[in-house]
Structure formats: C-alpha cells, structure tokens
Amino acid sequence: MLKKLFGKKEEPKNVSITSPATGKFVDLTDVPDPTFSEKMMGDGFAVEPSEGKIVSPVDGRVVQVFPTKHAVGIKSSEGLDVLIHIGLETVSLNGEGFEGRVSEGDKVKRGDVLVEFAIEDVKEKAKSTITPVVFTEGDQVDHLERKEVNSLTAGETEIMTITVKS
C-alpha cells in the first residue's frame, strides 16, 4: 500500500524456466490433449522425457502435490505459478509407478528432484509420457520468450524467460 501511495513501482521480475526433464522439446500446441494444446490451463511448453525423473524448473515453493503424484504445482520465487503434469491421462494410474520426492510447502531449487516415475509403465498404461509445463495464472505473465531448443537436459536447458507482472 505504501508503494502505491508514494508512487514507487516494483520492477517486473524475470524468471528463467529450465526443462523439468531430460528429453525432447514439444510445443504445447502439439500436445495430443486439447486441455493443454488449446491452452485451456495456460501457456507453456511440454517435454517428451527420456527418463523417469522430473526436477523443478524454477526456484520456489511446492504449493501442490497431487495425491496420485502425477502433477506438481510450484510458485516460483518471482511469483509465477507453474504446473508440471507428468504424462497424459496418468491420473488413471492412481499413483502406481510414481514416487513423490517433495511435499506441499517444501522449498525447492532449480534441478531438485520432484517426482520419479516408472517411464516404461507410463508408456504402456497411459496415453503418453509427454509432460506439459503450464503457467496456470495467465494474468501473472507480462512477456514470454521461448528459446530455440530441441534436446533438453533436466534442470539445465533454459526453455523460456518470463517477465512476471509486479
């Protein structure tokens, strides 16, 4: 409130988003699920993982771990809400093959392991291993800039820079 009274404006914050998995970049519009490809949950990208390990793409705090461990929500240190959804139609696996490594409220650093999963089981029992990463609160995003990348390394390859509104 004092900032508004005295005209001080917070500078927009930039957040670098790295890949949550080692694998191949997939444009969100190419995800074979309209909930993601039509950006109903927000903008973002996806990864086709080559191994069963998902890491935090940002520094922040875990705000939600789904009971089935197939999805994790993180609020970045800059205030950006990030949802990582492991595979497509994986909720039907009821957590089978998923091992959560974090709990709600945990602070995480970029590259910290969030979930490990049996990738072969997901390939066999779910629609796809493609893992969307979505920024669920579109009004937080002032500007989004995607890097030209294809081959990804978990916690290392920068995929996007997002300017978060103050």
Catalytic residue annotation: 85
The encoded tokens of residue 95 equal 């957590």
Look up residue 10 and give its DSSP letter.
P
Distance CA 124, CA 87 (A): 11
Distance CA 26, CA 133 (A): 10
Q: Where are the alpha helices (DSSP H) in 44-146?
A: 119-125
Instruction: Report strand pairing: 71-76 vs 131-135.
Output: unpaired
Distance CA 78, CA 96 (A): 33
| Sheet with 141-146, side-by-side order of all strands | 13-18, 158-164, 141-146
Q: How many Å separate Cα 156 from the centre of its chain?
A: 14
The encoded tokens of residue 113 equal 């392991």
